[in-house]
Amino acid sequence: METETKQKNELWEWSKALLIAFGLAAIIRFFFFAPIVVDGESMMPTLENGDRMIVNKIEYNVGAAERFDIVVFHTEGEKDFIKRIIGLPGDHVAYENDKLYINGEVVEEPYLEELKANTEGNLTEDFTLEEVTEGNVSVIPEGYVFVLGDNRRASKDSRYIGLVPMEEIVGSTRIVFWPFEEAGLVR
């Protein structure tokens, strides 16, 4: 009889521990961090198709987005996208002769050096913010960002989908955890 009670208590303790563990895992995944799989070549060579990453969902709740952050965001009727923030609220964005101009000043993009070295011609075609927004805006309004994929010739980004509302950003991502040989922080 005493052994039976002891087994029931042990079973109850294990059940409680498992429920708490699953509950905490669900809370962490839903509110703080989530895995995501890179689908496509729009962020190559920085991210490869099939890379598995961790999305930090709380970063923008406690801090502001920064230029060149890699973010995951929702799009209308489509899956989540992974792109790099290029323009922030108040910025004017333009590209000319394969150079990024923010508010009229050239801004270096060191993460593109490898791809530019292996690409004939310009990686990014010329554009201005006015052209890609059909003249609707000359500077990025509050609450929005301008995003581009690193593989500019194969990226559906703000040049095609428009400015991204900050409320559609799921979070930022900097950590590849699979494949193991690619694991680490993304520059």
Distances, alpha carbon 4 to alpha carbons 10, 96, 185, in Å: 10, 78, 51
Quote the pLDDT of residue 114: 83
Question: CB–CB of 85/76 below 8 Å?
Answer: no
**Token match 């394969």: residue?**
98
Determine the Cα–Cα distance for residues 54 and 170; give it in Å rounded to an integer.
11
Determine the Cα–Cα distance for residues 121 and 104; give it in Å rounded to an integer.
23
Quote the pLDDT of residue 177: 74
Catalytic residue among 6, 15, 16, 83: 83
Quote the pLDDT of residue 85: 95
At 109, give phi and psi (nearest 5°): -125, 80
- For 107-141, b/e burial (b = at least 16 CB within 10 A) is eebebbeebeeeeeeebbeeeebeebbeeebeebe
Quote the pLDDT of residue 142: 94
Determine the Cα–Cα distance for residues 118 and 180; give it in Å rounded to an integer.
26
Catalytic residue among 42, 155, 158, 172: 42
Quote the pLDDT of residue 25: 65
Structure tokens at 1: 């009889």
User: Where would I find the H helices in the chain?
Assistant: 2-27, 59-62, 113-117, 129-132, 158-161
Q: Block means of pLDDT (10 residues each) for the chain, length 187 residues?
A: 72 77 64 74 84 80 83 82 94 94 94 85 90 87 94 91 90 78 71
Determine the Cα–Cα distance for residues 40 and 47; give it in Å rounded to an integer.
9
Distances, alpha carbon 164 to alpha carbons 72, 80, 141, in Å: 11, 12, 10
Q: Is 156 a catalytic residue?
A: no
Quote the pLDDT of residue 91: 96
**Token match 């690409």: residue?**
119
Quote the pLDDT of residue 140: 95
Q: Is 42 a catalytic residue?
A: yes
Determine the Cα–Cα distance for residues 71 and 173; give it in Å rounded to an integer.
6
